[in-house]
Structure 1
Amino acid sequence: RANVDKAGVSIDFDGNGLTAYGFSVSAGGSISDSIYRNENEGNTDWDADWDSATHIEGDAWFAEVFIPWSIAPMKAQSGDIRKVKLAFWRMVVTEGRVNTSIKGNPRQEKFMSLFHDYTFQNYSVSKLDFFPFINVTEDRILDEVDTKVGMEVFWKIDSGKQLNIALNPDFGQVESDELVVNFTSSETYYSDKRPFFSENHSLFDVKSNEMFYIINTRRIGAAPDYNCASYAPEAQSACEASQVGVTDIDYAVRYTQQNETLDFGFLGASEADPAYSRGNDFYAVRLRKNAERYSLGYLGTYTERPVLDRDAIVHSLDLTYRPTDTLRVATVVMGSSIDQGIDNSHSSGEAFRMGITASPNKGRWHDVSLMFFDDQVDINDMGYQMINNWAYAGSHNGWKFTDYDASSPLLATEINANIAIETNADFSTAGKSIQFAYGGNFKNTAGFKIENFYRTAGKDFWITRDSLAAPAINKPVNYGTQLHLMGPSNKFFNYGLQFNRGKGSEWYSALGYSTTYGAKASFSPRDNLNFTLMYEHGYEDDWLNWIDDNLLGIYQRKQRTTVVSMNWFGGDKHELRVKAQMVAFTARQPSAYLGDLKGALTPVDVALSPFSLSDLAFQVRYRYEVLPLAYLYVVYSKGGRIVELDEEDRLGKLYQRPWDNPQADSFTVKLRYRF
């Protein structure tokens, strides 16, 4: 539970500052594990096999953890002694304080590099696990029952080598994604929670926040490619009716080998052939050279998409250089080459990112970032790329203050000041921005944050999707304020409030003002039971939406979002989660405009309809731990998206539409065993 005391340890098994693993346990016995990369970037999708126990006695509580040497891939180290780095911490919720053995935490720029050195006996551990599974799913819409049987093999050959194989894997997720309504030209990124891809994957994790991922494992098993026009007329309708949103996998394999100075990895997967389609093949090779002050790596991917007769190759080089303990340089250079036979096209492009981070002392950090994506680079066949035709230069700076005397209600405050410029690949300015934020925490554990931004007038080069008639749209000066408030931490009740008012943000430009307010409350009547309710309401004047080519519409936009969840834990074995996400998005009073070569918008007599969008994701998930990493899942899922050309505004009616007419309605029982 989020509002009880916790204790934990973070371990860098190789002692080189590249990868660390976090293990934490709460006073009530709940556990959490995570992976850290790039100094302070955490990922909690990892799920590992380790043991813990807690005991409460009077005003004190005790925790013990057992972490086996087989928990994670480790570099082979010569000799009888293994050098590792550790950090210990304890969170005292009622005081809003975290006591650590180092002068840092994951919320600061410096974290992994501050771990303390320790030595242990150098063990070489071999472990072989088989995970057979059976999955039975009832599709209540198609009135079909599908049964699937497969197996995953996890073989830790020794301390530095590991082989994972999945045969006929069930790569369907038993945890629903967050609902996102996205009308922009950029794809929404979703993390992968499937065990095969979240475990032992850190070697392949070359990325930059959510701007790009050289490997996006959600591509594997995604929606198939279709070319229904290639079939005879009588078969085209059957092809269109047979289209599905996911693809079965024949096999997936991953091998990693980590030595003292050189790492190697291979990842491959082959999809099955759905009706009226053919599965894709994915391959990746990883090399990384490690030294005391730097690591230099190569990651290459190859994707074959036979329906499109498309071959996509991506090469990337990544360098992390630490010339001093207070300075870090991280660079990624990538290039893509794509041949597509279905339309006889070829494209190639390049991109890079460079970041320099300086942390002169505990309470101060400075970051300079440069990024460039030309207009042809495309890593999306096996990776993820938010944008192309884009360049960025910016500096992020932070100062933290903790020296408050006993009479002050403040525990700590932080100031952030950022400046940035964005352009297209030809270096035509899209906008310049400055952002200032001030926030802090009180001794009673309450918190606040105030953000203000200003963005100059500029051009939006991406909204028209490369239209030759309107390559860009002019955008006005943008500015705004955001306010976040967090109530004092309480074992029974916690809450947070937010309010935003302005035009656009420091990252994107808008035509009109928008206002958003929201609240989130969490109730915990017992240590093992938690209820959460979140509601957000936003509306925007003059919302600009792309229709086609250089035709755009301006609407009055309103979006309401409700998230309700319940989490119950029955000891160490039972877990019940219920979650409902509902979105009501409405666009009213539409007006049509044509963009021109100069970026101006001219009214045009084209009829546009108002529309209402309703989104639902509802899931009840029960999980029983048969053995560590072996689970029985019982899952009911229902949801979908409904778009109507009307002006319905009643929230209950909008939320009810996808419930009454769902696109997905299924009941699943899955047993994943281990031996």
Structure 2
Amino acid sequence: MTVAAHGEIVVDGRIDESEWQQAAQCNGWLRTEPFARDIPRFANDLRIVATPEGLAAAFTIDHPASERRVRPRTPRDSETLTGDSVTLLVDFDATGQTGYEFSVGLGGGVRDGIVTNQNSFDRDWDGRWTHAVRETPDQWFVELLIPWDTVSMRPIEGESRTIGVYGSRFFFDRTERYACPGISADLTPAFLNDFQRIDIAQFKVAATLDFTPYATAIRDNLTDDVDLKAGADLSWRPSQNLWLTATLNPDFGQVESDELVVDFSAIETVYTDKRPFFTENQDIFELNTPANGQLIYTRRVGGPTDDGVEGSTDIDGALKFSGKSRSLAYGAFVAQEDEYDEDIGRLFAAARFAWLDQGKRVGYLGTWTDHPLIDRDAAINSVDYDLTPNDWWRIAGQVIRSDISTAGESETGYEAWVQADLNRTSSLTHTVRFLYIDEDFDLNDLGYMERNSLRQAEWDTNRSVTGRAGGRINGETQRLYLVYRENDGGERLQSRLQLSRDVIYNSKWRAYEELRVIPNGVDDLISRGNGPVQIDTRYSAYTDFTSPRIGNWQYIVGAYLFQQGVEDYSGRMQFVTVWYPTDKLTLRLDVLPEYTDDWLLWEEGNLFGTYRGRRLDFDFRLDWIPVPRHELRIRWQWIGIDADPRQAWRSDANGDLRPVTPLAVEAVAPITNPADSAVVPFTVNNLGLQIRYRYELAPQSDLYLVYARGGFGLTNDDDRRIRDLFHDMGDLRDADQFLIKVSYRL
């Protein structure tokens, strides 16, 4: 029997309306962190009821006064909700394809996001929903209301609909999670598909139209220029199963700071995207591939221009629509950059169709990108499937074709992969995965891929172990991971054997240990197209320890020993200190010193250098939330590197590295100028600072005041040391600006 609340439920944390007594319950709470799947030490209750306004949920959490409660306030969408918290995940179609996350901390912090591909979380999405928290001496309560027009649902005939539900409670002081049903996002391969099914009443959703204009003023403190910008986002839902969104002159998100990264590898760094148009109703386009691939990487839109100019590109506008029928989901979007009509900007488009049923999906995704400046267009066509026939196994896969035309020359490439999850609901799970990418395949016009020309086989086994009564260990997870890789030419690439162990102790400490062996193979990316390089077998070991909260402090200590050169080792330490002087204020400092005795870097052509070097990373964060709706965040990041040359090398025709010496040079290549083979000391000095105040005017309506400053310096023939670079940090000023932004949802 389905229960509906026809009267208004007041979201106040009291849970005293009569409808709650007959609401649907999530049954079968088990301990899932550690993954013991036994009865929780304290009771937890989750009730669900449908109302005309939306889906209401209520958590009742037993928490005796003898157990410490940890309740710091956290900024919205913090990756980690520090402290005691609850999480509600809802699959509104009960197909196991898309879930919505709604998490609330005991201190009032919230986090939301989208779950796709069974257990892939994207927390860039910001929904409109309300919550309340209340405490008593022996319990605490969380009440939520999720409006129907916040989420996407397929139409269902009749007076009821079936949804998938997952609820969890994180007991911070004991490092334990209790969940209903007893599954884990990290250890349950078909996580979304295994949600508990609940029948709720269905209400008609009225048409909605939301208009969110924004305006920004940016003062460049380097030039004293002031840039004014305005735009708007539009969201229209004519019915429950149709959704149209549009954006005009969208903001690229200057209020969000990217992580500071210094990376000398040949692989592109991936960043998240907080622009509303590219996060709202985007789940239908979220398709990932093995080896970290994405069919649609939204940061391409408005990214650096095709002529190599760094920074963002203005977007004239974008349009997106999506819809659902009983068993079909579909959608499309198009985005045009500034000056596309003058053959400078780019045009992006995508279309998606998918047949959905419980535990089943077969879909198509096509994308098209036009680069008039470089006379290039790219079409991607893919077919994907995801089948979960029973509790024992699941199979998923995809076939993708790329058609690239550049200056009249065409290339066609293919990618295909298949994955099987075995014994997936037990404490011992296995995943096997095969991937093939040919040398002509290219996903990087609108998507993202690390490389092409790849054949890869993976085996992943996870084992969960429950600690013995009275023992030191509460529980642990053990992992064996094997991957074999070769390129399309049959050359064996660097593969991996990995053993790891994640242990939660009864003392409330947590430890992670990992050993890696990377057998010898070639690196065919490091030389940037100048031939493969033979790399000997490499070894690495990593461990870290996370303390419980000790008074107002928490600590993480880690150590990493690894190889990144020809033969010798590098070492890195990690020291993290978190201080909670009050529940309203959190300060965190990460310090990562690194020393390398052998660091292999590409210089040019077939010339390489190995370096002895030192690196120091600082990451300081301050979060102050004096009252709800007000946030002050300070983020300061600094990276300093000083490196001294140890040896110059050149790769020969076989890919072997030969030291550049008077005796060895002639066997590799004649050198007419010795300076052509010189490697010199260098330094890197990188700074990022952001001070951000946010005031929530209303749901999805905000005022931001932001000061940002940053700089990057790479200097050759520089003999400065880390302490000198730290002292010279004040000279880094590539960007220095103050921003005011206001957006208001009408």
TM-score category (smaller protein): over 0.9
Structure 2 partner of 1:388:
452
- SS of 2:423's equivalent? strand
Structure 1: which amino acid aligns with 2:496? S
Paired with 2:711 and 2:289, the residues of 1 have a C-alpha distance of 31
Structure 1 partner of 2:58:
none
- SS of 1:196's equivalent? helix
Structure 1 partner of 2:618:
562
Structure 2: which amino acid aligns with 1:625? E
Per-residue deviation, 1:511: 4.2
| Kept after mapping to 2: 8 A contact 1:458/1:474 | yes
Q: How big is each residue's C-alpha offset from its partner over 1:550-575, in whole Å with a ceiling of 9 and x where there is no partner?
A: 12222123321110000111332101
Paired with 1:276 and 1:609, the residues of 2 have a C-alpha distance of 43
Matches within 5 A, 1:539-550: 539-550=595-606
Per-residue deviation, 1:523: 0.9
Matched, 1:163 2:244: yes
Structure 1 partner of 2:196:
116
Change (3 A) 1:102 1:292: closer
Paired with 1:186 and 1:543, the residues of 2 have a C-alpha distance of 17
Structure 2 partner of 1:153:
234
RMSD of aligned alpha carbons: 1.9
The counterpart of 1:501, out of the listed 552, 555, 561, is 561
Structure 2: which amino acid aligns with 1:27? L
Structure 2: which amino acid aligns with 1:281? L
| Kept after mapping to 1: 8 A contact 2:249/2:315 | yes
Structure 2 partner of 1:14:
93
Structure 1 partner of 2:574:
518
Paired with 2:358 and 2:201, the residues of 1 have a C-alpha distance of 21
Per-residue deviation, 1:360: 4.3
Structure 2 partner of 1:226:
307
Change (3 A) 1:648 1:629: farther
Matched, 1:665 2:736: yes
Structure 2: which amino acid aligns with 1:198? T
Matched, 1:596 2:662: no
Per-residue deviation, 1:157: 2.4
Paired with 1:336 and 1:92, the residues of 2 have a C-alpha distance of 47
- SS of 1:385's equivalent? coil
Structure 2 residue ranges without an equivalent (≥5): 1-73, 75-80, 661-673
Per-residue deviation, 1:276: 9.4
Matches within 5 A, 1:71-470: 71-110=150-189, 111-125=191-205, 126-208=207-289, 211-226=292-307, 243=309, 245-273=311-339, 278-341=344-407, 344-405=408-469, 407-467=470-530
Matched, 1:585 2:665: no
Paired with 2:222 and 2:424, the residues of 1 have a C-alpha distance of 59
Structure 2: which amino acid aligns with 1:497? V
Count of equivalent residues? 650
Bigger drift between 49-58 and 430-439 goes to 430-439
Paired with 1:47 and 1:319, the residues of 2 have a C-alpha distance of 28
Q: How big is each residue's C-alpha offset from its partner over 1:72-93, in whole Å with a ceiling of 9 and x where there is no partner?
A: 1111222221110112221211
Matched, 1:476 2:556: no
Q: How big is each residue's C-alpha offset from its partner over 1:223-276, in whole Å with a ceiling of 9 and x where there is no partner?
A: 22228xxxxxxxxxxxxxxx5521111101110111221111111100112999
Per-residue deviation, 1:21: 0.9
Paired with 1:323 and 1:399, the residues of 2 have a C-alpha distance of 23
- SS of 1:218's equivalent? helix
Structure 1 partner of 2:690:
619
Per-residue deviation, 1:652: 4.3
Structure 1: which amino acid aligns with 2:536? P
| Kept after mapping to 2: 8 A contact 1:271/1:280 | yes
Q: How big is each residue's C-alpha offset from its partner over 1:438-483, in whole Å with a ceiling of 9 and x where there is no partner?
A: 221012321112111222222111111222xxx2111111112111
Bigger drift between 204-213 and 556-565 goes to 204-213
Structure 2: which amino acid aligns with 1:116? Q
- SS of 1:536's equivalent? strand
- SS of 2:173's equivalent? helix
Per-residue deviation, 1:656: 5.0
Structure 1 partner of 2:31:
none
Change (3 A) 1:43 1:210: farther
Bigger drift between 255-264 and 286-295 goes to 286-295
Structure 2: which amino acid aligns with 1:123? F
| Kept after mapping to 1: 8 A contact 2:251/2:275 | no
Change (3 A) 1:480 1:54: same
Q: How big is each residue's C-alpha offset from its partner over 1:296-354, in whole Å with a ceiling of 9 and x where there is no partner?
A: 1111111111111111111111111112223111212212111122xx54332111222
- SS of 1:654's equivalent? helix
Structure 2 partner of 1:238:
none
Per-residue deviation, 1:209: 6.2
Change (3 A) 1:251 1:3: closer
| Kept after mapping to 1: 8 A contact 2:614/2:722 | no
Q: How big is each residue's C-alpha offset from its partner over 1:568-598, in whole Å with a ceiling of 9 and x where there is no partner?
A: 1133210111001111122212532221111
Residue identity (%): 30
Per-residue deviation, 1:650: 3.8
With normalisation by structure 1, the TM-score equals: 0.93
| Kept after mapping to 2: 8 A contact 1:434/1:455 | yes
Q: How big is each residue's C-alpha offset from its partner over 1:141-189, in whole Å with a ceiling of 9 and x where there is no partner?
A: 2321110111100112222111100012122331111111111111111
Structure 2 partner of 1:32:
111
The counterpart of 2:715, out of the listed 632, 637, 644, is 644
Paired with 1:141 and 1:559, the residues of 2 have a C-alpha distance of 29
| Kept after mapping to 1: 8 A contact 2:494/2:518 | yes
- SS of 1:416's equivalent? strand
Q: How big is each residue's C-alpha offset from its partner over 1:618-656, in whole Å with a ceiling of 9 and x where there is no partner?
A: 101111001100000111111021111244444343245
Structure 1 partner of 2:52:
none
| Kept after mapping to 2: 8 A contact 1:96/1:444 | no
Bigger drift between 524-533 and 97-106 goes to 97-106
Bigger drift between 206-215 and 531-540 goes to 206-215
Per-residue deviation, 1:376: 1.7
Paired with 1:514 and 1:494, the residues of 2 have a C-alpha distance of 27
Bigger drift between 271-280 and 261-270 goes to 271-280
Paired with 1:510 and 1:445, the residues of 2 have a C-alpha distance of 40
Paired with 1:62 and 1:655, the residues of 2 have a C-alpha distance of 47
Paired with 2:113 and 2:689, the residues of 1 have a C-alpha distance of 26
Structure 2 partner of 1:65:
144
Structure 2: which amino acid aligns with 1:426? G
- SS of 2:274's equivalent? coil
Change (3 A) 1:626 1:370: same
The counterpart of 1:608, out of the listed 679, 687, 699, is 679
